[in-house]
Amino acid sequence: QVQLVESGGGLVQPGGSLRLSCAASGSILSIAAMGWYRQAPGNQRELVASITSGGNTNYADSLKGRFTISGDFARNTVWLQMNSLKPEDTAVYYCNADEVLYRTAAVGTDLTDFWGQGTQVTVSS
């Protein structure tokens, strides 16, 4: 199977910075894209940013300029640098791996998406 492990969340004051990391592990052959989503209480999960294995990035319009996504697909790892954090950035941040091709004992290979368990980011004074 494949696992995504996130780290780097925590409590930060408004205006501060955090860097989230997500590493995918398992019998992975390739990943098409990785990204970060977030979900605040009472809200739907929303895209924060994504990056393809070719290096193309996509950001939520409201976050451009403050958040930067980067990735190393040789290591199946993605990072999210978050600067100038605001209280409204408070949410659980989830890592996503899109179109993961991986080996399975049952069927040889399979292709699907995977999610991490999430990491809490709280922006508060």
pLDDT one-digit tens code per residue, 107-121 = 899 999 999 999 999
Q: Which amino acid is at 52?
A: T
Q: How confident is the model at residue 21 (pLDDT cuts 50, 70, 90)?
A: very high
Tell me the Ramachandran region of residue 66: left when phi exceeds 0, alpha when psi lies from -120 to 50, beta otherwise: alpha
Strand order in the sheet with 18-26: 2-7, 18-26, 77-82, 67-72
> What one-letter code names the amino acid at 108?
G
Could you report the per-residue pLDDT of 69-91, keeping only the tens digit for each? 999 999 999 999 999 999 999 99
106 — pLDDT class (breaks 50, 70, 90): confident
| pLDDT above 90 for 105 | no
Say which residue the tokens 């989503």 belong to: 37
pLDDT digits (tens, 9 = 90+) for 34-74: 999 999 999 999 999 999 999 999 999 999 899 999 999 99
Q: What φ, ψ does residue 89 adopt, rounded to 5°?
A: -85, -5
What is the tens place of the pLDDT at every residue in 49-59?
A: 999 999 999 99
Question: Is 1's pLDDT higher than 90?
Answer: no
Residue 56 to residues 35, 49, 50, 59, 108, Cα–Cα distance (Å): 11, 11, 8, 10, 30
Residue indicated by tokens 């791996």 = 97
